[in-house]
Amino acid sequence: MIDQDTQIDSIDWAILRVLQTDASLPVHEVGERVGLSSNACWRRIKRLEESGIIARRVALLDAERLGLATTVFVAIKTNRHDPAWLEAFSKGIAAIDEIGECHRMAGDVDYLLKLVVRDIAHYDRIYRRLIAAVPDIADVSSSFSMEKMKSTTVLPRPG
């Protein structure tokens, strides 16, 4: 949620769209694309960074070219939800680099993990580490992605 002190107008949204597509562009080029001078554009970007709307700038890597061609979604169910278990779970997943995302879910599944691995054998090694590191997992169900049909890091403008 955007805080009340941070006003975002259509030019800010245009800047965010450009930066989400290519954050390596020089400020003057971002400014040209959104109709601002370099200085005005830089001030807006700085404000968006200081407000936390731009959390960080990163390089997006091609997992397949790095030999990480398999994406696995892992649904976890547990009967424990106490703070001690949650701390052990959090530490366990934090120690596994292949886990790129973890979501606490509503519904039948308690947690959903997204992993990128080389192959099924690589995933099996990660699975064994996970169940050894985290006690009292009631069920683990894995689904392997057959094809990535859409993948974007670009967030939509709330409508």
User: Mind listing the pLDDT tens digit for each residue in 59-90?
Assistant: 999 999 999 999 999 999 999 999 999 999 99
Same domain, 134 and 74: yes
Same domain, 140 and 68: yes
- What confidence category does residue 3 fall into, taking pLDDT thresholds of 50, 70 and 90? low
User: Mind listing the pLDDT tens digit for each residue in 12-37?
Assistant: 999 999 999 999 999 999 999 999 99
For the beta sheet containing 70-78, the strands, ordered from the edge strand earlier in sequence to the opposite edge, are 99-104, 111-117, 70-78, 137-144
- Is residue 120 a part of any domain in this protein? yes
Q: pLDDT exceeding 90 applies to what percent of the chain?
A: 92
Buried b (16+ CB within 10 A) or exposed e, 32-67: ebbebeeeebeebbeebeeeeebeeeeeeeebeeee
Domain range for 28 is 10-50
Q: Choose the weakest-confidence range: 75-79, 90-94, 155-159.
A: 155-159
* pTM score of the predicted model: 0.87
